[in-house]
Chains A and B, each alone.
Chain A
């Protein structure tokens, strides 16, 4: 029995050790120590390197603060935030997908920024209103945009040439797009003409919205209380996708064909430009996304917004100071040049040095910069994720011929309206 009690004592000591250690560290901590902040975001690759560099520099210039930059994958960020809030272990600040912002702002887990914005005299009118609107809930601003992007046409010039097409005269209408795609597709080698995103979920919805807006439609009513996509424009957009499938210009398939050199064209984001310039094993260029001949130019915007979750007031202030710095014009220009994100502020987009830099370094970004003015915003409603899933599930049924297009739009409208009611 002696041995048993000895083992128990040792076990108890081992278990207690971290607690004791933590206690003594807390004792040592004093007022001069920097305020430690934990910053979660999902930027990776070039973007991840740049945010790390910016955080490091900020830490160096501000010895009173120590920000720890933590990468959390896009798919894990929301679940982890949720668990962290429930466990009282939330990060002090984070940057997340703009499409989650209404739900986050509504959750009560974010710190309203109005008083900080006023105190530091930040001019929020310089941010694009469509971006700022997703963070605004009950007249309070809960986050600031850090980066944005939009979707335009990517063209594989090698495949274009092989099919006898010229990428320097890209399609400018839906009809031209359909014709070029049909001519370029090569079913024998599994090459599609125009890649569509046809897996259910937000990927499908946010691509489809570009066609919907291009045809002159809208996704939700202006007051965001009901679906608006079940319209002539919605039907036109859906029929256009179906015509691409029927003509063999697109084969229902996993997303990602363009990156593998298996698609002539794709609608994709400005964030692809940097990585593809480095590593795509084929020649490619970009162009503005065509609209129908009687439609209007349109695209969808995405991006990340930074917000504060810290409970402690000193930490809230320190987190705000960092966000205010990160979203300032000068830092934004540096950030956009390194990451190929689109400007979130007018003062960046019109900055002469920035525009010159793009022209000289990566003219393939120009269609994105030009089209940012036509970028729509996904409806800032709390239920957006679920709404997007049920919408895309119905569109998918139409694409697989399980429902006719009108039937699918009716069903999607009913499902979306019941979520919004």
Chain B
């Protein structure tokens, strides 16, 4: 009996006994947990988003779409959306592109590949808050390694200092975001690269294609389903950025790193406006949902073959 036939026989066996309930039992824990921790909060925050509530008092009052209207009119929220988008796009595009290049280099038979993999993967398994604290330490004005290093080279560090500098702060946060995801992207890419048949490269080489042509016309198109997956995952994760910014800049300077997650946290836990915070949550949810749908619609189906 082939493996496939055995699985099919197993299913028929189960169906014959009419034991769908066993399947339901097996799925129940996951479904229940998902419902409790994802579906319920989602619905409840939707309900809160049309209420005014301080998070303590037993009374909530219905305010209709006022919370959403206030967000639409708020310059702070618009700024936060634009900062979040800038961050998300940079991390998704740059992060994925850089990791593809590194993955291809690693895949080309560099010595000590495993050590490189380890080095690139370490940030992924490091606690984000711990990593952000270390990065902040590196960027400390005066005594931080970044400043000391630049001074040794005879270069004056920026004024205002790194994380207080409107030009640099967001770039550094983006750098941390890219660095943190790099290892994950590389590992997924490496797995994908193994699946591209060697014959394609051999044939192309015979036809006189150089390294760039092979990368451009074989690797990039054949790896594109993985690229799509990584871009979507990066966008979803990056859109929800909070911890790195909270630790490193707290949204400053002059709002240049003020992402939506941070505003949401402040509204909910510092100003006690649970309604406004929930409305923000729903705006983020709707945006991420829409972006993901569009990506699957336009790019997903075309590549579904691989």
Contacts and interface: CB of A to CB of B under 8 A. Distances in A.
Nearest to A419: B271
Interface stretch (A29-37, A358-366, A382-390): A382-390
Contacts of B225: none
Given A1-B22, A190-B142, A253-B160, A396 B56 contact: no
Contacts of A386: 266, 270-271
Contacts of A254: 136, 140-141, 161, 163-164
A72 B272 CA distance: 19
Interface in B91-146: 136, 140-143
Residue in A251, A254, A262 whose Cβ sees the most chain B Cβ within 10 Å: A254
Nearest to A190: B142
A353 interface: no
A79 interface: yes
A200 interface: yes
A262 B250 contact: no
B272 A396 contact: no
Given A86-B55, A198-B164, A254-B163, A4 B25 contact: yes
Contact of A253 (B54, B136, B141, B270): B141
B266 A199 contact: no
B72 interface: no
B141 A251 contact: yes
A199 to B, nearest CB: 5
A189 interface: yes
A257 B141 contact: yes
Contacts of A400: 160, 166, 253-254
Given A190-B157, A254-B141, A8 B269 contact: no
Contacts of A4: 22, 25
A257 B142 contact: yes
Size class of B's contact patch?
A: 35 or more
Contacts of B46: none
Interface in A330-388: 383, 385-386
B164 A252 contact: yes
Given A199-B252, A254-B164, A383 B57 contact: no
A405 to B, nearest CB: 15
B251 interface: yes
Given A108-B56, A386-B271, A393 B142 contact: no
Residue in A79, A85, A253, A385 whose Cβ sees the most chain B Cβ within 10 Å: A253
A402 interface: yes
B56 A107 contact: yes
Contact of A397 (B58, B254, B272): B254
A397 B164 CA distance: 12
B271 A396 contact: no
A200 B58 CA distance: 32
B61 interface: no
B147 A190 contact: yes
B54 A385 contact: no
A396 to B, nearest CB: 6
Interface string A1-42: 100100010000000000000000000000000000000000
B272 A103 contact: yes
Contacts of A51: none
Contact of B161 (A79, A189, A253, A396): A253
A183 B55 CA distance: 51
Interface residues of A, number: 37
B253 A396 contact: yes
A120 interface: no
B159 interface: yes
B159 A251 contact: yes
Contacts of A103: 272
Interface string B7-48: 000000000010100100100000000000000000000000
Contact of A251 (B140, B160, B255): B160
A251 B159 CA distance: 7
A378 to B, nearest CB: 15
B257 to A, nearest CB: 11
Interface string A33-67: 00000000000000000000000000000000000
Contacts of B157: 190
A301 to B, nearest CB: 21
A198 B268 CA distance: 24
A257 B160 CA distance: 13
Given A1-B22, A4-B25, A107 B54 contact: yes
A151 interface: no
B56 A383 contact: no
Given A257-B142, A260-B143, A262-B143, A389 B266 contact: yes
A201 interface: yes
A109 interface: yes
5 contacts: A1-B22, A85-B55, A190-B147, A253-B164, A400-B254
Interface of A: 1, 4, 8, 78-79, 82, 85-86, 103, 107-109, 189-191, 198-201, 251-254, 256-257, 260-262, 383, 385-386, 389, 393, 396-397, 400, 402
Given A79-B268, A82-B55, 17 more contacts: A1-B22, A78-B269, A82-B272, A201-B250, A251-B141, A251-B161, A252-B253, A253-B160, A257-B141, A257-B142, A260-B140, A260-B142, A385-B271, A386-B266, A389-B270, A400-B160, A402-B254
